[in-house]
C-alpha cells in the first residue's frame, strides 16, 4: 500500500492562525494545549490532526536549521571569499537539498507539476553556476588587461629608472593576485 496523503486540517485555517500555531509549536506547546486553544477560538481541530501537522512542521523546521548551520559553516571556513564563491556554495547546497528531496519522495504521490517545478529550479541553479563562472572568467580577464595597461604606463613614466619600474610592476602583480583570490 502506498503512502497516505497528508490532510492537515490546520492548513485550512486562516494564515494568521497557522502562523500562531507554528510559533506555539516552536515554543513547546503540547498538541492538547493547541487543540484547547483552537477550540476556544472556534476552530475545532483535534489533537491528532495537530500532531500530524506538528510532526511535519517540526521536521521541516529542523531541516532548515541544519541547512542554516551548513551555510554558516561554509561562510566561516572562508570569510574573505568573494560573493561569487558564497553564491556557488549556496547553489551547491540548494542542489543537494533538491536531490535529497527527490530521493525521499514517493513519486506516485507527488504531482507531476511539482516534479517539473523542482527540476526547473535545479536547471536554473545550474545555469546560474555557469553565469557565475563566466563572470569570474571575465573579471580575471579584465584584471589582466588592466595590469598590462598599468605596467605599460609605468614603464613609459619611469623609463629612466628601470629598478623603480620593476618594483612598481611587482606591486601591481601582487595586487592583481590579491584581486583574483
Query: Cβ(20)–Cβ(37) under 8 Å?
Result: no
Query: Cβ(128)–Cβ(91) under 8 Å?
Result: yes
Query: Cβ(172)–Cβ(151) under 8 Å?
Result: yes
Is residue 110 scored above 60 in pLDDT? no
pLDDT digits (tens, 9 = 90+) for 17-64: 988 999 999 999 999 999 999 999 999 988 998 998 898 888 888 887
**What residues have CB less than 8 Å from 42, skipping those under 6 apart?**
none
Residue 42 pLDDT: 92
Query: Cβ(71)–Cβ(93) under 8 Å?
Result: yes
E strand residue ranges, the chain: none
Record the pTM. Answer: 0.46
DSSP code, position 4: P
**Angle ∠(150,151,154) on CA atoms, nearest 5:** 85
Domain spans in the chain, listed from the N-terminal domain onward: 1-66
Share of the chain above pLDDT 90, in %: 13
Amino acid at each position: 500500500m502506498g503512502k497516505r496523503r497528508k490532510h492537515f486540517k490546520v492548513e485550512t485555517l486562516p494564515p494568521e492562525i497557522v502562523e500562531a500555531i507554528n510559533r506555539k509549536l516552536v515554543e513547546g506547546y503540547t498538541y492538547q494545549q493547541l487543540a484547547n486553544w483552537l477550540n476556544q477560538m472556534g476552530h475545532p481541530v483535534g489533537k491528532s490532526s495537530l500532531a500530524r501537522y506538528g510532526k511535519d512542521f517540526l521536521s521541516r523546521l529542523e531541516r532548515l536549521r541544519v541547512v542554516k548551520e551548513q551555510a554558516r559553516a561554509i561562510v566561516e571556513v572562508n570569510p574573505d571569499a568573494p560573493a561569487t564563491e558564497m553564491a556557488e556554495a549556496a547553489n551547491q547546497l540548494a542542489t543537494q537539498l533538491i536531490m535529497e528531496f527527490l530521493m525521499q519522495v514517493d513519486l506516485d504521490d507527488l504531482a507531476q507539476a511539482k516534479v517539473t517545478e523542482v527540476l526547473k529550479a535545479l536547471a536554473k541553479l545550474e545555469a546560474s553556476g555557469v553565469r557565475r563562472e563566466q563572470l569570474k572568467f571575465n573579471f580575471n580577464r579584465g584584471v589582466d588587461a588592466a595590469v598590462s595597461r598599468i605596467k605599460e604606463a609605468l614603464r613609459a613614466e619611469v623609463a629612466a629608472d628601470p629598478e623603480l619600474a620593476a618594483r612598481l610592476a611587482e606591486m601591481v602583480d601582487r595586487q592583481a593576485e590579491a584581486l583574483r583570490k
